[in-house]
Amino acid sequence: MKIKLLLISFLLATNALGAVAQVSKTYYVSKPGTLISMMTEEEANTVTHLTLTGKLNAEDFRHLRDEFASLKVLDISNAEIKMYSGKAGTYPNGKFYIYMPNFIPAYAFSNVVDGVTKGKKTLEKIILSEKPKT
């Protein structure tokens, strides 16, 4: 009986401490800039391990940086990074910028707030392709 009570207490304590379960999702992005439209806000905020294939651009990276509150692991090893030019990318303060293809955009995982660059605190690992680009 004591073991059962101890186990129940442990499970309740673990839940009370906010133990977050791993939430893994995989998406194929057929059109660059459309990642965020493929999921709900709740999905974006709860996913911890995200695998993306298809075509990404600087808009998608801005959403990954700013709106995926629990993202720990990002696998983009089988995704293409496409060119983007405009103000909706990752550059601070909505500055117009040209983002080249096959490069992680500037400020993809950090942002400038009040003149201080701050990284995405939740992100622990990014998996990139080992295939050379030609």
CATH of the domain at 100: 3.80.10.10
pTM value? Answer: 0.81
Task: Give yes or no for a contact between 110 and 120, defined as CB atoms under 8 angstroms apart.
Answer: yes
Q: Does residue 123 lie within any of the structural domains?
A: yes
Provide the domain count of the chain.
Answer: 1
Domain of residue 54: give its range: 21-127
Q: Does residue 26 lie within any of the structural domains?
A: yes
Q: How far is CA 101 from CA 3, 62, 92, 104, in A?
A: 58, 16, 19, 8
What per-residue confidence (pLDDT) applies to 3? 66
Q: Does residue 4 lie within any of the structural domains?
A: no
Give kind and range of the element (H or E) at residue 50. strand 49-56
| Secondary structure of 73-97 in HEC code, one letter for each residue | EEEEEEEEECCEEECCCCCHHHCCE
Q: Does residue 51 lie within any of the structural domains?
A: yes
Per-residue pLDDT tens digits for 93-126: 889 999 999 999 999 999 888 888 889 999 999 9
Closest CA to 24 of 4, 58, 41, 48: 48
What per-residue confidence (pLDDT) applies to 94? 85
Per-residue pLDDT tens digits for 10-51: 555 554 444 558 999 999 999 999 999 999 999 999 999 999
Q: Does residue 121 lie within any of the structural domains?
A: yes
